[in-house]
Amino acid sequence: MSAGTHENTAKVAGVEVSTDHYIGGERVPSRERFEVISPMSCEPIAYVSRGGEEEADRAVRAAKEAFPRWASLGPEGRGTYMRRLADLIDENVESLAAVECEDMAMLLRSLRARVIHRGARNFRAYAGLAASYEERDWRSQGTWNRVQRMPAGPAATITPWNAPFMLSTWKVAPALAAGCTVILKPAEWAPLSASLLADLTEEAGFPPGVFNVLQGMGEEAGAALVAHPMVRRVSFTGSPETGRLIGQAAARNLVPFTAEMGGKGPLIVFEDADLEAAARKAAGQYDDAGQVCLAGTRLLVQRSVAREFLELFDRFADEHVLGDPRDERTTISPLIHPDHLKRVEGFVERARAEGHEVLRGGRRSEVGPLFYEPTLIRPKSNDAEIVQREVFGPVLTIQEFEDEAEAVSLANSTEYGLSAVIYTSSLGRADRVGRMVRAGVVWVNTFLVRDLTAPFGGMGISGIGREGGDYALDFYSDLKTLQIQEGSTR
């Protein structure tokens, strides 16, 4: 489609999408706009309002004004709105999936079958968790004590471009359930589904200012948002480099800050594992063109079965089909943006120049302008950049280990600590190695299974704080102790 630089809407995959901010229940344009391209064609699909300090201030003030009323509704009152929103998300899966596919090129069938529905599930789950919270009561030193959750205030949520709709709801849902009002700053490479989410909150009857969408560049709109003195919580998902800057801005205002900042997860395969299942799952790490922070990108295989594992891996990797994400046959879609393709390509080119062995792939694909072949590299050294830094593309490394001790040493040898995968048939080994591997989540003989009540977050430079369940609700709350002298009241 074509989009004029001054249009307030864009037709994306047949869906009308507002390209303006959503602030205080109104669509608000900016004087300047930025271009959003489709990863499938590299052609512009929308020109979106480019916010800055002025729009950030307006959004925060709208959230601040709406906060007392929203907080006073209590968990049950807020839950009514959130469940209504969840129903609307389920009713609009087709349009949400179509726009998300065009905007960031995730496989359409995945978006339809699970990813968009997960957004609805987030709102239902947190509405229920907030309502079921039991305040802690006890008696001590002649007093009756109760710990209460108090909504913190306006919350700034900054989300990434991979699975943007689902990851936005992952932050917005607990914030709203806890009684905070929200300003969502979506990633500039894939902002369009956030605009649709704003439409759905309005349709669900949310009071103006409870949910706001601020669009723009991170260094402009994002920086102004997190530095605003009225913001009382900041939650971020993205790179460690940006996370450090956001954390510094939050610290200046003494604002609690949580961040998930990527990973370099190990996928550990022991000789007693179901090798076929392990190899199939390893080849599956190329899904979404490797643009998954939880992916097990470092294959660590016990030396005694390494050759057999690699043969199986090659067989499963050969089954991948690069193509249009709307095509049911496609298993690997394009990368998000030309700049990101250059970044991924740079990692592989430097690895090749340093003498690391490229076992498969290692080049752009002729399928389309932003496709990169599934790549596997055998590094000469564990200190290599290709092992130690997050690529965030369809690039894996493979290394061999002798025993459990070496496997754990390799697994824990990067600065990251977001996730890990272990394949073994021994429950004892699963427990031993699982305890020793430093990661926020460790899967054994499975991958990407998420319980929404479990803590989620990283160790090392992978993150600060935890999301999920009561951990998220506590983050968006101020905890208060009410203490009453026994016998002093009736």
- List the catalytic residues: 260, 293
Q: Which residues partner with 82 through β-bridges?
A: none
Residue 79: phi and psi, rounded to 5, are -60, -30
